[in-house]
Amino acid sequence: MRTWLAGDLAGLNGEIVRTASWVAGAGFALALWLSPSLNMLALGDRMAQGLGVSLLKTRLFALLAIALLCGAAVSIAGPIGFIGLVVPQLIRRLVSVDIRVMVPLSALCGALVLLIADLAARMLFTPYELATGVMTALVGAPVFILMASRMFK
């Protein structure tokens, strides 16, 4: 129950992770396949259409990729917030705005942040264990507020 309330990685087994990995892999492949069209879509609807992008098809497939990736992640760990909000924005600011680079780098860095948050949640308050989602919220909320305040200046 704790997994579904605050998000946690405790109690996972190989079968759950294997099944979700197939779903996440399909979403990841779809996102990579769509990344050139999404890069053009970032230029605006008229420009993307002028470059030959099918707006409806691209948006529908992007929605499917998002649903597959988010569904796989939430089915494993529950609602762990702020990683999906903060990590891609940091990648965009520090590395690249190219979606072909952002998708794999966001996945790797997001997994690393989740691992660090889970380890911190398990070790900081020993012998007690904090839910991973609580740890990401404690760190992620101030970082997200800082990033949002700088964006609107």
Q: In this structure, what are the phi and psi dihedrals at residue 77, rounded to the nearest 5 degrees?
A: -110, -10
Tokens matching residue 2: 């704790």
Most confident among 43-47, 74-78, 125-129 (mean pLDDT)? 43-47
* CA atoms lying within 13 Å on the CB side of residue 27: 18
Q: How confident is the model at residue 46 (pLDDT cuts 50, 70, 90)?
A: very high
Tell me 53's DSSP state. -
pLDDT surpassing 60 at residue 144: yes
* Amino acid identity, position 69: L
Q: What's the average model confidence in pLDDT over 80-98?
A: 87
Span 94-141, pLDDT tens digits: 888 889 999 999 999 999 999 998 899 889 888 888 888 888 888 888
Q: Which domains does the chain show, CATH number per domain? A: 2-151 (1.10.3470.10)
Helix (H, G, I), strand (E, B) or coil at 39: helix
Helices (H), 42-98: 45-50, 55-77, 83-94
Span 4-43, pLDDT tens digits: 677 888 778 888 889 999 999 999 999 999 999 999 999 9
Q: How confident is the model at residue 3 (pLDDT cuts 50, 70, 90)?
A: low
**pTM passes above 0.85:** no
